[in-house]
Structure 1
Amino acid sequence: MAPSSKTAATLNELAAGSVGGAAQVLVGQPLDTVKTRAQIAPAGMFKGPMDILLQTVRKEGFLALYKGMASPLFGIAGVNSLLFAAYGVSKRIISPFPQLSLKETAAAGAMAGAINAVLASPVEMFKVRMQGQYGDKTDKRLSVIAREMWSQWGFRKGVMRGYWVTVAREIPAYAGFYTAYEFSRRQFAQKYGPELPVWAVLASGSTGGMAYWLSSYPLDVVKSRVQLRTTPPTGTPVQYIAAELRAVVAEGGVAGLFRGLSPTLIRSIPAAASTFAAYELTREFLEKTTGV
């Protein structure tokens, strides 16, 4: 592929990723709020995911399920654009051939995940801190939280809090995500040919979404807790991640590492499906339009 063609292909991936990311947020945010609150709420505050959903709507209103959406909605264009572009570039680095093996796909996904953490970390941090407010009079707007995190802790310990645990989460998450997605697509392609029906793309995306969380969920619990803390973590990333994992197990047993997993898996089906459907349809349109 010529340099100009590579640039055009990357731009197509950036644009398609933005559309896919917006679809993901709009579809998945309510259950993402349930997931985050399950991870970070004080012990005994909720009886389970359904209780979180019902209490949130009853006490704060339906729109509270979209609390914290501004951060990912505005940031998701950059996050998903970076992710899909990084994945496309990673595939081209790993192999000059368009059809990668599943092992190569996992490696490209891991590379893309590590790169994606640069933008995903602050977006997630602001979202978690918004979702960790329960409708009190002292609740803060996103702009206030952003200003306080910057003024009190600066860029590294404030805005980028939880960066290394986000990296640790994204590497296995996207290795699993893209491997499951590609495996599903190839199985469908054997039966239906390379031009898959939309439902097959949706099903493949859903499979990838579930693999994402099954590959990384305990680290997501750690990330949410670290990002919500009033003070930044201390020690090396390995030390504070290990300390947080031990704290979660001490508080709720091994099951605590998977608190909120069920609504997350349910959310992953429509969220990932809509992401890939929007991404693939946009990318195909741009390929036809630009010829790349």
Structure 2
Amino acid sequence: MRKRLFLFLRWNSGLPAKLINGGIAGLIGVTCVFPIDLAKTRLQNQQNGSRLYTSMSDCLIKTIRSEGYFGMYRGAAVNLTLVTPEKAIKLAANDFFRQHLSKDGKLTLVKEMLAGCGAGTCQVIVTTPMEMLKIQLQDAGRIAAQRKLMPETVAAGTVETKSPTAMQLTRQLLREKGIAGLYKGLGATLLRDVPFSIIYFPLFANLNNLGKKDVDGPAPFYVSFISGCLAGSTAAVAVNPVDVIKTRLQSLNRASTEDTYSGVTDCIRKIMRNEGPSAFLKGAYCRALVIAPLFGIAQVIYFLGVGEFILTCVHFSVFTK
């Protein structure tokens, strides 16, 4: 009786289990790759005439020297707090749309892409404010280093202050601009996350299916991991130009010699004119290194059914008392 109850709950946990899986995967993944994400943000934000870093490794070495080991984790608290709902929404929404778009358990490529589109659209509710705050905290070290090395680039009247916390930034943005302040760059975030999901989810599903030993059974966990890594890195590089635009638009602090942007079109025009097309690939390899393990880990957590196991244990303890 207990065994049958355990198996029933294990396979009927539904959406709550998917949310737990997405949250756990996000926490593990962000902890592992956050320093690379910080390097990506700083590389994407530096413009011609204000280059402090030549590569990802150069950025991380200089960050450790000037800010210490924990300097590589500036903004990590925001990410760790909000990545759970963000990843949970993304993965669960994709499953939700796939289930409702499928016919007899099968999906066409177009419907797979529509499901990914729906997932990407849903997640920006959390992604936009999360990245808005994270980018300010990640880039604070670059701005501080620029002030020390190139004081002539600091705008007149600028006062150097201690780096603000996420809560201070949130209060400031809400006070000055309302909720819209936290959603600056929403359009660019949509332009990045919707195409990313359209590419990632169908690609992962098809790569994962290639590794299945049984048509009706799950693929081995290592196949899910590799498929997640390959699909994630491919989608990440494909949308990197939009990620550069989004990062620039969401950065509030700039040196006097750096361009400011009024919107997506203005940002594209100024980057093309002042830095050339190659600027849209800044941080692309960093982003691939961040996204690949993030989604590889996420798919393994889903495969192992950690969320289902947790809920099963909770229900089992309740119903067998």
The TM-score with structure 2 as length reference comes to: 0.80
- Equivalent-residue separation in structure 1 for 2:104 and 2:66 (angstroms): 54
* Amino acid aligned to 2:96: V
- Equivalent-residue separation in structure 2 for 1:8 and 1:194 (angstroms): 18
1:219-230 correspondence runs (5 A): 219-229=242-252
Aligned to 1:69: 76
Aligned to 2:19: 14
Q: Does the CA contact (< 8 Å) of 1:19 and 1:279 recur in 2?
A: no
Aligned to 1:198: 221
- Equivalent-residue separation in structure 1 for 2:72 and 2:238 (angstroms): 25
Query: How far apart are 1:269 and its partner, in Å?
Result: 2.8
Aligned to 2:100: 93
Q: Deviations over 1:165-204 (max 9, x none)?
A: 1111111001111122112101111589833322212101
Query: How far apart are 1:286 and its partner, in Å?
Result: 6.1
Aligned partner of residue 239 in structure 2, secondary structure? helix
Does structure 1 residue 170 correspond to structure 2 residue 193? Answer: yes
Aligned to 2:55: 48
Q: Does the CA contact (< 8 Å) of 1:86 and 1:112 recur in 2?
A: yes
- Equivalent-residue separation in structure 1 for 2:198 and 2:128 (angstroms): 18
Query: How far apart are 1:69 and its partner, in Å?
Result: 0.8
Unaligned runs of 5+ in 1: 1-6, 235-239
Q: Does the CA contact (< 8 Å) of 2:116 and 2:198 recur in 1?
A: yes
Query: How far apart are 1:284 and its partner, in Å?
Result: 5.4
The TM-score with structure 1 as length reference comes to: 0.87
- Equivalent-residue separation in structure 1 for 2:177 and 2:190 (angstroms): 20
Aligned to 2:153: none
Q: Does the CA contact (< 8 Å) of 1:56 and 1:65 recur in 2?
A: yes
Q: For the structure 1 residues 64 and 97, does the alpha-carbon distance in structure 2 shift closer, same or farther, using more than 3 Å as the test?
A: farther
1:179-194 correspondence runs (5 A): 179-190=202-213, 194=217
Moved more, 117-126 or 85-94: 85-94
Query: How far apart are 1:278 and its partner, in Å?
Result: 2.0
Q: Deviations over 1:51-77 (max 9, x none)?
A: 111111111112111111111110011
- Equivalent-residue separation in structure 2 for 1:211 and 1:288 (angstroms): 35
Aligned to 1:207: 230
Does structure 1 residue 39 correspond to structure 2 residue 35? Answer: no
Aligned to 2:6: none
Q: Does the CA contact (< 8 Å) of 1:30 and 1:65 recur in 2?
A: yes
Q: Does the CA contact (< 8 Å) of 1:204 and 1:273 recur in 2?
A: yes
Aligned to 1:4: none
Aligned partner of residue 132 in structure 1, secondary structure? helix
Unaligned runs of 5+ in 2: 1-11, 145-160, 255-259, 317-321
Aligned to 1:146: 170
Aligned to 2:319: none
1:84-123 correspondence runs (5 A): 84-123=91-130
Q: Does the CA contact (< 8 Å) of 1:173 and 1:211 recur in 2?
A: no
Does structure 1 residue 60 correspond to structure 2 residue 67? Answer: yes
- Equivalent-residue separation in structure 2 for 1:283 and 1:207 (angstroms): 24
User: Cα RMSD between the aligned structures?
Assistant: 2.5
Q: For 2:298, which of 250, 271, 275 is the aligned residue?
A: 275
Larger Rg: 2
1:227-246 correspondence runs (5 A): 227-229=250-252, 234=262, 240-246=263-269
Aligned to 2:155: none
- Equivalent-residue separation in structure 1 for 2:37 and 2:53 (angstroms): 16
